[in-house]
């Protein structure tokens, strides 16, 4: 059996009930080996509800990282479920780590526990969003680093392009910089300074793109800072739900068609975002994740680990000075 995916049982708005249920679903329905990390008594009580005591291993971690924690507390505490989960990956006892906990806390602890890949300034969260053309666009950074430097954003573009090649199979990905206009020089100081760095990097730079390009398939990768990227991601999910609800009320499409479209943009479908730029596989799920989303995140983590994506992205990344 391959090494299991470590799941932060205590993380998220609905842990441990939903996270444990998701781990059980991942194990039974999707064949993903898992190990649950957190307060053993609470986890085993939830496992008992699914008649799964003894079926899934439990690693005790006494402390819980609050969802309000931005990162500093997670770095200093060594007995949290996030810290122990990252340690399992570092020690080779787990192939990947999945958490629906505070993104800032997971990112901070993962950097400390697993380390950044050589040459990487900051990790970035990448999520593939379905486009109207039938393909997908990688959004990066989707929330790992809210206030990056231009050099960091330029490197996020490199990470995103590598992810598009290795995971989505795009041979020559195009990269767009999210801004308030497609014309050169548009945007705030961060965007303008980043725009000057991207043309010299080893990918096809499309130029600036706008919010309406996110789902249009205009480019293969859209790069931005983590604050903006996270707002975009949640806005896409919310807008799709709202639009489909209005269509349903208008009666212009059947329920099956609406469910099919909704499923493409549901967090349950993509499971979570891959944290790129680390020496280990980490998937961050929505804080509001329910069991099916947690199960899908485990599946994504398993696939990333089995495909050696972390190592391949690291090797594929052209660690060139970003000036």
Give 279 or 2, the one with higher predicted confidence: 279
What are residue 129's DSSP bridge partners? Answer: 137
Q: How far apart are CA 163 and CA 175, in angstroms?
A: 12
Q: Supply the pLDDT for residue 119.
A: 84
Mean pLDDT value across the chain: 89
User: Which band of pLDDT confidence, cut at 50, 70 and 90, is reported for residue 314?
Assistant: confident
For the segment 21-42, the average pLDDT, to the nearest whole number, is 95
For the segment 68-78, the average pLDDT, to the nearest whole number, is 66
Contact criterion met (CB below 8 Å) for 203 and 116: no
Cis status of the peptide bond prior to 16, with omega within 30 of 0: yes
Q: Return the number of other C-beta atoms located less than 10 Å from residue 78's C-beta.
A: 13
Which residue from 228, 231, 235 is spatially nearest to 188, judged by alpha carbons? 228
DSSP readout, 205-274? EEEEE-GGGTTTTS-SEEE--HHHHHHHHHHHHHHHHHHHHHHHHHT-S-HHHHHHHHHHHSHHHH-SEE
Kindly list the distances between the CA atom of residue 115 and the CA atoms of 26, 68, 152, 257, 274, in Å, as whole numbers in the listed order: 27, 23, 16, 44, 15
Q: Supply the pLDDT for residue 297.
A: 93
- Asked whether the predicted pLDDT for residue 46 surpasses 90, the reply is yes
Q: How far apart are CA 137 and CA 126, in angstroms?
A: 10
What are residue 63's DSSP bridge partners? Answer: 80
In this structure, what DSSP letter does residue 199 have?
G
DSSP readout, 30-54? H---EEEEE-HHHHHHHHHHTT-BT
3-state secondary structure of 24: helix
Mean pLDDT comparison of 38-47, 249-258, 260-269, highest-scoring range: 38-47
69-237-276 Cα angle (round to 5):
55
User: pLDDT digits over 120-134, tens only?
Assistant: 899 999 999 988 888
Per the listing, tokens 């480019």 go with: 219
Q: Supply the pLDDT for residue 28.
A: 95
User: pLDDT digits over 169-205, tens only?
Assistant: 999 999 999 999 999 999 999 999 999 999 988 899 9
First to last CA, the chain: 45
Q: 163: which residues sit within 8 A by CB, 6+ positions away?
A: 126, 138, 140, 221, 274, 276, 309, 313
Q: Supply the pLDDT for residue 1.
A: 57
Q: Supply the pLDDT for residue 267.
A: 63
Q: Which strands make up the sheet holding 136-140, listed edge to edge?
A: 57-60, 34-38, 5-8, 96-99, 282-284, 273-276, 124-130, 136-140, 221-223, 174-178, 204-209
Dihedral (CA of 311, 313, 317, 319) sign: negative
- Asked whether the predicted pLDDT for residue 323 surpasses 70, the reply is no
What are residue 56's DSSP bridge partners? Answer: 53
Per the listing, tokens 């961060």 go with: 190
């Amino acid at each position: 059996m391959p090494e299991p995916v470590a799941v932060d049982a205590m993380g998220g708005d609905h842990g441990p009930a939903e996270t444990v249920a998701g781990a059980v679903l991942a194990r039974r329905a999707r064949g993903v080996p898992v190990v649950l990390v957190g307060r053993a008594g609470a986890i085993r009580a939830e496992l008992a509800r699914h008649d799964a005591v003894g079926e899934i291993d439990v690693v005790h971690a006494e402390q819980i990282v609050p969802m309000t924690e931005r990162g500093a507390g997670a770095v200093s505490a060594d007995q949290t479920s996030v810290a122990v989960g990252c340690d399992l990956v570092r020690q080779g006892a787990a192939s990947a780590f999945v958490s629906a906990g505070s993104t800032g806390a997971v990112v901070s602890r993962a950097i400390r526990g697993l380390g950044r890949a050589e040459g990487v300034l900051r990790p970035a969260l990448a999520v593939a969003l379905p486009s109207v053309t039938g393909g997908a666009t990688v959004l990066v950074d989707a929330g790992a680093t809210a206030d990056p430097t231009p050099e960091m954003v330029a490197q996020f573009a490199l990470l995103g392009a590598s992810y598009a090649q290795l995971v989505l199979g795009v041979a020559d990905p195009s990269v767009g910089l999210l801004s308030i206009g497609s014309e050169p020089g548009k945007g705030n100081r961060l965007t303008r300074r980043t725009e000057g760095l991207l043309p010299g990097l080893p990918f096809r730079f499309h130029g600036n793109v706008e919010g309406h390009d996110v789902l249009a398939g205009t480019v293969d990768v859209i790069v931005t800072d983590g604050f903006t990227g996270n707002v975009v991601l949640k806005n896409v999910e919310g807008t799709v739900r709202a639009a489909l609800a209005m269509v349903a009320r208008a009666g212009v499409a059947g329920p099956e068609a609406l469910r099919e479209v909704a499923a493409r943009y549901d967090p349950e479908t993509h499971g979570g975002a891959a944290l790129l730029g680390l020496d280990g596989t980490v998937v961050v799920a929505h804080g509001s994740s329910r069991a099916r989303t947690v199960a899908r995140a485990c599946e994504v983590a398993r696939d990333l680990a089995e495909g050696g994506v972390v190592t391949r992205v690291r090797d594929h990344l052209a660690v060139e000075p970003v000036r």
